[in-house]
Chain A
Amino acid sequence: MDKKNIIWLASYPKSGNTWFRVFLTNLLSDSDIPANINDLTDTSISSSRKIFDEYTGLSSSDLTFTEIDSLRPEVYRMQSVESKELLFKKVHDKYYLTERGEALFPTEITRGTIYFIRNPLDVLVSFAYHSAKPVEKMVKTLNNSDFAFCSQNDKLQNQLRQILGSWSDHVTSWTKQKNIPIHIIRYEDMINDTFECFKNAVKFIGLEKSDLEINDAIKKSDFSVLENQEKEAGFKEKMIKSKSFFRKGKIGDWRNYLDQKTIEEIISNHNSVMKKYRYIDTNNKPVL
């Protein structure tokens, strides 16, 4: 029988997903010391090649992107069946249907999705830093409806292909689908109203945790803790070209980096979604 035991932690990159995963690891751990950022295994990424190969019995490196997509829902179903506990899976793919017309993330095994959204102006700066790419190039990425990770056809990449689409495509794909329950978290609310924001997420997941436990997990996941851990021992999810994964995490840092033309380009391309999530006002002026 199907169990609804998977929680997808979905986001466009650089939108607070990892911070939340650290919080969750701390919340679910019995240890007195903060969880190791290099040991967030309970929230493994849904595009893992290793897991796909193990569960299918096939080499993903011998399969086409379409074939892999059509098997991914089956892999998640099998993981759901085998797991006695809630499974948290990090996702950067947008929500879409495979060629067979079935959702990549099956409804019947899903308890819910937490969707993290952040001001695209800040995402732009952070993503550019993280990928060691110039901002001008990153603007194109955020605007690109065909954007995907690990989509090169002539080499083997470390993860399965993930179709993201443009920033707006990504947001709307998850927030407009009606198949699975979704809880939307703005990164800015995670920063400004941390306790309430995390408490609501815990409630959505259906975990019974006291305010004390939630506060304790928040403390153990403080930005300074993560930054120090990375300084001391590195963080394996960092891309090789960037200096650090945990950079600033600030709201509105884009004001220090972006010129008017870039700001306008982002606002015009993502106008309706930015308005809906209160990143621009009715006059199209940035709010945060």
Chain B
Amino acid sequence: MIKTFTYKAFGLNIKSDFEIPELLVSDGVPDIEIKIGKTPQKLDKVINKGVMYQAAKNEFLLEVNNIAKYFVANGNKINVEPFKKEIDKEVRLFLLGSAFGALFIQRGLLPIHGSAVKFGKSATIFTGVSGVGKSSIAAYFVSQAFQVLADDISVVNHNLEVVPGFPKMKLWNDILQKLKIEDQSLEQIRPDMMKFQLPVNENYFNKPLPLKNIIIINTKNSPGFEFEELTGIKKFNAVKINTYRHRFVQGLDKQQDHFQVLNKLLPETRVYKVARPQSPLLLNEFGDFLLKKLNLDG
């Protein structure tokens, strides 16, 4: 009999053909099955595609050169076809990234691109474009003994709660140094990159929490921090475009679900646009500003 592995991540029970050590082990009736197997050459009835993906109603295909192909169907099945001899951390990296993102959208969940931190009895999501410091500020709060629910993808469920993802963060070397994390045993996410996987076991919160704030981080070329609370259509559009891989939504024919979940969520959530100086990245000052000005901890 083939051995299988069971986990819980993002509020979902996962059964997998292969080990996924990033995730927390759990049992329960599987919501999702991950298998090693063939993937289609291409999808029929593609609605939209990108350079490395194709999306159709209930079907999604992703290819990462020299790593693997991923076929995600009906929000409950992922086939992984590795281009390498074995399933390794690189194969899992894109599984837990873009492939999971497509899966969440298929299930009508709202994945937001960014990290979620527990403040008081609720969660705050830090979002914004790539390179703006989402994981960095979350890691700073972890270093200050706050707890994190998710890094990179924060999933909001149908009860408008942020569900815990898994107890790992991805951080670049410069941020580890700023936070004085000098653990030599940290693993690189990929052999050629100075980006590491940081386990956050004690600082991981493993229950869903109501979403209180979404903070969209921007950079500016002047000193000092600024913030603005967004309302109306600006608020709606800002969260919409910070949906993880928002181009997948249209490709998977899920605009209506997406629209509905945003409409339900936004009256209950505060959305702030925050600007920090583009350099240097002063995590202490930025963290203090967020805590005090936005009363995160209150």
Contact = CB atoms under 8 A, between A and B. Distances in A.
B130 A61 contact: yes
A230 to B, nearest CB: 11
B194 A154 contact: yes
A234 B131 contact: no
A57 B53 contact: yes
Contact of B131 (A55, A61, A64, A239): A61
Interface residues of B, number: 39
Contacts of A287: none
Interface stretch (A5-13, A155-163, A186-194, A258-266): A155-163
A238 interface: yes
Nearest to B175: A155
A60 B130 contact: yes
A54 B131 contact: no
Interface in B241-283: 245-248, 277-279
A75 B53 CA distance: 12
Contacts of B170: 62
A73 to B, nearest CB: 9
Interface in B160-189: 170, 172-175, 189
Interface in B131-147: 131-132
Contact of B219 (A50, A54, A75, A158): A158
A236 interface: yes
A97 interface: no
Contacts of A199: none
A69 B218 CA distance: 26
Given A57-B62, A236-B221, A240-B221, A158 B131 contact: yes
A234 B221 contact: yes
A53 interface: yes
A207 interface: no
Interface stretch (B10-18, B22-30, B90-98, B206-214): B90-98
B52 A71 contact: yes
A156 B247 contact: no
Q: Which of B62, B193, B223 has the most CB of A within 10 A?
A: B193
A64 B195 CA distance: 11
B131 A56 contact: no
B140 to A, nearest CB: 15
Contacts of B64: 58
B172 A156 contact: yes
B51 A153 contact: no
A156 B130 contact: yes
Interface size class on chain A is 20 to 34
Interface in A39-70: 49-50, 53-62, 64, 67, 70
B190 interface: yes
Nearest to A152: B174
Contact of B97 (A55, A62, A241): A62
Interface in A167-209: none
A135 to B, nearest CB: 21
B295 interface: no
Contacts of B189: 62
A74 to B, nearest CB: 4
B49 to A, nearest CB: 8
A240 B52 contact: no
B220 A236 contact: yes
Contact of A153 (B97, B193, B223): B193
B282 to A, nearest CB: 12
16 contacts: A54-B246, A57-B50, A57-B52, A58-B94, A59-B130, A61-B131, A62-B93, A62-B195, A78-B51, A153-B194, A156-B130, A156-B172, A158-B131, A158-B219, A159-B131, A240-B221
Given A54-B50, A157-B131, A240-B222, 8 more contacts: A49-B129, A55-B51, A57-B51, A57-B247, A154-B172, A236-B220, A240-B277, A240-B279
Interface of A: 49-50, 53-62, 64, 67, 70-71, 74-75, 78, 153-159, 234-236, 238-241
Interface of B: 50-53, 62, 64-65, 93-94, 97-98, 129-132, 152, 170, 172-175, 189-190, 192-195, 219-223, 245-248, 277-279
- Which 4 pairs of residues, A with B, have the shortest CB-CB distance? A57-B53, A154-B173, A155-B174, A154-B194
